[in-house]
Amino acid sequence: MREFPTLARWSIRRRLLVPLCALFIAAMLVLYVAARGYGRQAADTSYDHLLQASVLSMTDSLQLVQGTWHMDMPYAALEVLSLAANDRVFYRVTDGAGRVVTGYPDLPAPPRLTADDPQPALFDAAYSGELVRFAVLRHEIAGPEANAVAIVQVGQTRLARDALATDIVWRATLIIGILTLAVLALVWVGVHRSLRPVARVERELLTRQASALSPIESPVPRELVQLVAALNGFMARLAGNLDTLRVFIADAAHQLRTPLAALRAQVQVALDEDDPAEQRRSLIAVDRNAARLTRLVNQLLSDASVNHRSSLQRFERLDAVALVRDALQDVVPQADPHPDVIWHCALAHAPLQGDALMLREAVKNLIDNALKHGSPDRTPVVVTLERDDESWRLTIDDQGPGIPPAQAQTIFDRFVRGAGTRAGGAGLGLSIVRRVVEGHRGTIVLSNRVEGGLRVSVRLPAA
């Protein structure tokens, strides 16, 4: 079992909620900071207007009488500031030389005064134990001798501003908070709803019979169609394999029953026989049948093995020349009577991609068939390997009876034996060969030669 990182096991809900939470918390922080800046600015703007109005109305009431400033302060100058109900107010009027005309003499000085600004300048400074917002205006009028200057400064503590700013921030934060919670709740519900089809598929799979391999029918969202299609495809292949297996087991059992029955009958005959000669003849028959059975079982195993290997598709680079030579070595008996096999091959190497074991088995089967059925009087069997375009062609010619045209196709099916063949074949050989050849993307053709005899022609793609 592979070790997956912990992240891979996270639930979908968690995968969605964790980044969304992080995103929204980050957004909340950013918005909170922005709201604080904005709140303070908005509060300052509203109350700064009052402060400036106060300065302007004071300035408006200034009069220069014989070189001395006089001010008849309008009631509204300070009353307007009482809109910030609990804030203290301070003011001062000085002349150009810095002499106090009226008001609080010890107010903090403005940072720097611009001469010609029509609007009062604004600044914060500590006074009387509190931070105070000041507005200050430099007022200049032409006097009889020189220009006279008055500086009007009005300040107000920040209680109302701070309260308004805090209020703005809290309202904004509250809205952001509610929004965040709503979004997270929606995500939670949304995830739950989107995962419902998965649960439905799960329930359908859990409740169905073990043998039921029909496609999943629950409707699923588009994102899951691929997954369900893959699952359905997998189940279809599984069902196919199971069918093949079932048919094979039934066929195999059927095939094994006949020789076993014959075997038992002959053993019975041998047991009932008193004459040793007859007994021996029966035992010979038993031996022949046992050999046939062995061959059948071998073929079944070979078939199963080919089946297994063809599904694995473990191909490697092979040399067809060596492969056929090895097969000949294996299949042609070296002892007398020595059958006549003629091996034609002009190639030094014939590379191809394939499974050596399967291919050797197939070639052995073909040569074995030719020797068994196509060489009645030990007439020679001709094996030829040659190049044909992008493939290798292996032909095996014999002098036998050939096959009736009607059987040219069915001969490849399992447990089908050629007409007139002697007992001993299980009818699996050509079926195995064809599976192997087709597994290598090759072709196999059986044809009767004009001069008599059967030609098996196998074509395999060259590497």
Residue numbers at the binding site for another protein (CB under 8 A):
70-75, 77-79, 81-82, 85-90, 101-106, 128-130
Angle, CA of 353, 356 and 359, to the nearest 5°: 90
Pull the structure tokens for residue 247.
Answer: 């048919």
Nearest CA to 427 out of 291, 292, 322 is that of 292
* Shortest CB 180 distance to another protein, Å: 36
> Closer to another protein at the Cβ: 78 or 304?
78
> Closer to another protein at the Cβ: 77 or 318?
77
- Phi and psi dihedrals of 68, rounded to 5? -115, 140
Nearest CA to 150 out of 103, 189, 205 is that of 103
Pull the structure tokens for residue 130.
Answer: 């509190």
* Shortest CB 51 distance to another protein, Å: 12
Chain centroid, CA 195 distance in Å: 17
Contact assessment for residue 57 and residue 74, using Cβ atoms and an 8 Å cutoff: yes
Contact assessment for residue 45 and residue 164, using Cβ atoms and an 8 Å cutoff: no
* Shortest CB 152 distance to another protein, Å: 12
Helices (H), 313-425: 320-331, 356-373, 407-410
> Closer to another protein at the Cβ: 106 or 116?
106
* Shortest CB 168 distance to another protein, Å: 23
Contact assessment for residue 123 and residue 110, using Cβ atoms and an 8 Å cutoff: yes
- How many Å from the N-terminal Cα to the C-terminal Cα in the chain? 36
Nearest CA to 147 out of 96, 100, 113 is that of 96
> Closer to another protein at the Cβ: 24 or 47?
47
* Shortest CB 47 distance to another protein, Å: 13
> Closer to another protein at the Cβ: 81 or 352?
81
- Cα separation, 366 vs 363, whole angstroms: 5
* Shortest CB 9 distance to another protein, Å: 58
> Closer to another protein at the Cβ: 152 or 252?
152
> Closer to another protein at the Cβ: 62 or 228?
62
* Shortest CB 173 distance to another protein, Å: 27
Contact assessment for residue 204 and residue 216, using Cβ atoms and an 8 Å cutoff: yes
H or E element at residue 243:
helix 222-272
Parallel, antiparallel, or unpaired: how do β-strands 454-461 and 89-95 relate?
A: unpaired
Contact assessment for residue 166 and residue 153, using Cβ atoms and an 8 Å cutoff: no
Contact assessment for residue 365 and residue 411, using Cβ atoms and an 8 Å cutoff: no
* Shortest CB 100 distance to another protein, Å: 9
- Cα separation, 206 vs 185, whole angstroms: 31
- Cα separation, 272 vs 251, whole angstroms: 32
- Phi and psi dihedrals of 94, rounded to 5? -120, 160
* Shortest CB 196 distance to another protein, Å: 56
* Shortest CB 147 distance to another protein, Å: 21
